[in-house]
Each structure stands twice: as structure tokens, then as C-alpha cells.
């Protein structure tokens, strides 16, 4: 009997506490949702390429496709990287060459400095646009009064961008914008010779296991900068593209992505292929990005259009974990975002057993 008691006590001592499992991540996320009075959202956690947790509350179910807003930029960027690896583009290719046929249809840019803007400058938001004066966004409501949001309409939307002058000299500074990635969607179509959605699905998303990914039927017009829709688990699988050696990003593109020169954001981070990047001493990196979209267009051609949500994706390269979170309504750009990043990071540090 004494031996049995000793054995039971030994097993109890050896058993991991709840804080050592992925349960802690879900608890932390649910606590953050409650604290911020958010009743609808979802979470997906991938460890070493395997889905280890999926959770949802409110009007979202596990595996439900959700819109991802600016998390779409990474999809576009990785698609561009495949064209670089195939020798059809370089990061130094100017737009005048990458969009020669498109400019013949749409007309040239009003600001001819855009001709010399490179693919790399577009990818890293250094093309001369700025969030505060972003033509892709600022002209969208007026466009949707007379046109459907259910078509990508790359040429029509590109014309809206090309009519505006740049805010700053290309290459001079970082200026986050949707316009840069609107242009890159046109680049994917011209250089690949294929429809943007089909090329990205077939070349990048399906090989990575994001089988349900598609452009949001109601907001296809946002396409390459904000239009992708998929389950959180599928987006976490897509983030495996950033794992060192993953074939989705070839060696040339990976070297470019990881190099901070000309891409710095501060605090050891830079902007790469549609994500923020913080390199690690091991040669891996942490990758992350936020997306948000809020719109209320009462007089749209399609009828009233309303949207309000936020999404966040992060990959911690040092522990080979990807997390993706979605919540509605939109939480904005402030401290609530930073709090979620901290909550997830703190929870991840406690996990000793992911599976």
C-alpha cells in the first residue's frame, strides 16, 4: 500500500500543470475577449505545422471562414516572391516595366515618379504613399456608389491610385498604405498572366494547406490588400511560408525578406513580405501583422455594405508557433491591440507541452 501511495504521489508531481499546456493560450485569449467586452471571435494555434488548438465564441464557429483585411497583404507578397524566384521579376524591377501592358490600358501615372518605383519599395511601403492620404482607401466609398464590391476590378481601382500624386519621394520613408498592395495585385496579374485569385490559390495557398482560402465574395474589390477570407486555421497554415526552408518562399526572396537594410521600422524590426519581421540570432524570426476593416456604406450599388472587425497573426520562430485571432467589432489601433500581443506572448512563454 505504501508503495502505491508513493507511486501516485510521484505521478502527480510529474504531471504538467494547466499552465504548461496550450490550454493556457486559450484561457488567456478568452480572458482578453471578456475584459474587452468582445463576444464574437476566434483563435487558431499551429505548432510545428500541426493545428493544436482552435476555439471560437459568439457568431463564429471553429473552421468558419472569416475576412482578414490587411492580413491579405502577406498573401500578395508571397505571391510576388514566387514570381521573383521564377525570374519573372526582381525586387528592383520598376513599375514602368512590371506594368507596361497595364499602363497601356489605364494610362500612365499622373505622378511620373511612380514609373521608377520598384517592387521592393511597394512591398515595404516605401513607394511614396501614406495611410493618411491613401487613394485606394479614400476613393473606395465613392467607387462603390456606382460599382459592385464583388469584382476585383484591378484596372478600375488602379486608375484611382494612378490619378493621385505621391505624398513623399519614393524610397524616402515608410508610409503604410493599401495603394502599394493594390498595385502589386495588378503586378501579379500582368506578370503571371493569370487571374490574381487563381494564381495565389494555386501557387501559394493550396500547397500550404489553406484549402478553403478565397477572396471574400462581398469584398472582392479589396483583393490584394484586404480581400482574402479563410478559416483562422488555414491562415495559420499559410504562415508556414515563413518557416526557414519552406518552399513557398525561395532562397533569393528569403534573403531579401530577412535583410533589414532599407526596411527598418525601429526596435529591431523591419517590414518584409507583407509582415513585420524581427530577426532572431538563430537565423529565424518573429513575424506579425494586424488587419482591420470598418465600413458603413448606405448607398452602395450592392445595397448597404457594413463591416467591422480586426484580425491578428503572429509567428514566433523560436518556438515554431503560429497564432491567428479574429474579433468583431473592430478594436481600432490603440492599446487594446498591444494588450492582446502581450497576453498571447506571455501565455506562449508558459507552455511546455504544445501537443
Q: Which residue has the cell 514602368?
A: 96
Q: How far apart are CA 89 and CA 80, in angstroms?
A: 8
Could you tell me the end-to-end alpha-carbon distance of the chain, in angstroms, rounded to an integer? 34
What global pTM score does this model have?
0.94
The Cα 163–Cα 107 span in angstroms is 10
Q: Is residue 12 part of a domain?
A: no
The per-residue pLDDT for 132 is: 86
- 179 assigned to some structural domain: yes
Amino acid 140: pLDDT = 97
CATH code, 346 = 3.40.710.10
pLDDT at position 7: 38
Please state the domain count of the chain. 1
Sheet holding 285-297, edge to edge: 50-57, 40-47, 321-328, 305-316, 285-297, 276-279, 269-271, 264-266
- Report residues of the chain scoring pLDDT below 70: 1-19
- Whether residue 11 is contained in a domain is answered as no
Q: Give the pLDDT confidence score for residue 133 in this predicted structure.
A: 87
For residue 8, being part of any structural domain is answered with no
Q: Is residue 9 part of a domain?
A: no
- Spatial distance between the Cα atoms of 237 and 219, rounded to a whole number of angstroms: 23
Torsion sign (Cα): 130, 133, 134, 137: positive
For 165, the domain range is 19-350
181 within domain boundaries: yes
Give 36-41 contacts, CB < 8 A, sequence gap 24+: 36/331, 36/336, 36/339, 38/327, 38/328, 38/329, 38/331, 40/327, 40/328, 41/325, 41/326, 41/327, 41/328
By C-alpha distance, which of 350, 232, 243 is closest to 291? 232
**pLDDT tens per residue across span 210-263:** 999 999 999 999 999 999 999 999 999 999 999 999 999 999 999 999 999 999
DSSP string of 39-54, one letter each residue: -EEEEEEEETTEEEEE
Average model confidence (pLDDT) for the chain? 94
Residue 1 domain flag: no
Q: What is the pLDDT of residue 303?
A: 97
Instruction: For residue 7, tell me if it sits in a domain.
Output: no
Locate 271 and state its grid cell: 517590414
pLDDT computed for residue 29 by the predictor:
98
Amino acid at each position: 500500500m505504501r508503495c502505491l501511495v508513493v507511486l501516485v504521489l510521484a505521478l502527480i508531481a510529474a504531471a504538467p500543470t494547466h499552465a504548461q499546456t496550450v490550454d493556457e493560450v486559450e484561457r488567456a485569449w478568452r480572458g482578453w475577449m471578456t475584459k474587452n467586452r468582445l463576444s464574437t471571435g476566434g483563435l487558431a494555434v499551429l505548432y510545428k505545422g500541426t493545428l493544436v488548438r482552435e476555439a471560437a465564441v459568439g457568431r463564429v464557429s471553429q473552421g468558419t471562414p472569416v475576412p482578414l483585411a490587411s492580413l491579405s497583404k502577406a498573401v500578395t507578397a508571397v505571391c510576388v516572391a514566387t514570381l521573383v524566384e521564377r525570374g519573372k521579376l526582381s525586387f528592383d524591377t520598376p513599375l514602368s516595366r512590371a506594368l507596361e501592358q497595364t499602363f497601356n490600358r489605364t494610362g500612365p501615372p499622373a505622378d511620373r515618379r511612380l514609373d521608377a518605383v520598384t517592387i521592393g519599395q511597394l512591398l515595404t511601403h516605401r513607394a511614396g504613399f501614406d495611410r493618411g492620404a491613401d487613394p485606394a482607401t479614400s476613393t473606395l466609398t465613392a467607387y462603390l456608389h456606382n460599382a459592385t464590391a464583388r469584382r476585383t476590378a484591378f484596372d478600375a481601382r488602379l486608375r484611382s491610385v494612378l490619378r493621385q500624386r505621391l505624398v513623399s519621394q519614393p524610397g524616402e520613408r515608410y508610409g503604410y498604405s493599401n495603394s502599394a498592395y493594390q498595385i502589386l495585385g495588378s503586378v501579379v496579374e500582368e506578370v503571371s498572366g493569370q487571374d490574381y485569385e487563381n494564381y495565389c490559390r494555386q501557387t501559394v495557398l493550396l500547397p500550404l494547406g489553406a484549402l478553403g482560402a478565397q477572396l471574400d465574395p462581398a469584398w472582392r474589390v479589396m483583393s490584394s490588400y484586404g480581400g482574402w477570407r479563410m478559416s483562422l486555421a488555414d491562415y495559420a497554415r499559410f504562415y508556414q511560408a515563413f518557416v526557414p526552408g519552406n518552399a513557398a518562399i525561395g532562397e533569393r526572396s528569403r534573403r531579401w525578406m530577412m535583410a533589414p537594410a532599407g526596411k527598418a521600422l525601429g526596435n529591431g524590426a523591419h517590414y518584409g513580405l507583407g509582415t513585420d519581421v524581427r530577426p532572431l540570432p538563430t537565423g529565424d524570426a518573429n513575424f506579425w501583422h494586424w488587419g482591420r476593416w470598418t465600413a458603413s456604406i448606405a448607398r452602395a450599388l450592392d445595397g448597404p455594405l457594413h463591416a467591422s472587425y480586426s484580425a491578428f497573426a503572429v509567428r514566433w520562430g523560436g518556438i515554431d508557433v503560429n497564432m491567428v485571432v479574429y474579433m468583431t467589432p473592430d478594436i481600432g489601433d490603440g492599446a487594446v491591440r498591444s494588450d492582446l500581443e502581450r497576453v498571447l506572448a506571455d501565455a506562449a512563454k508558459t507552455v511546455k507541452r504544445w501537443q
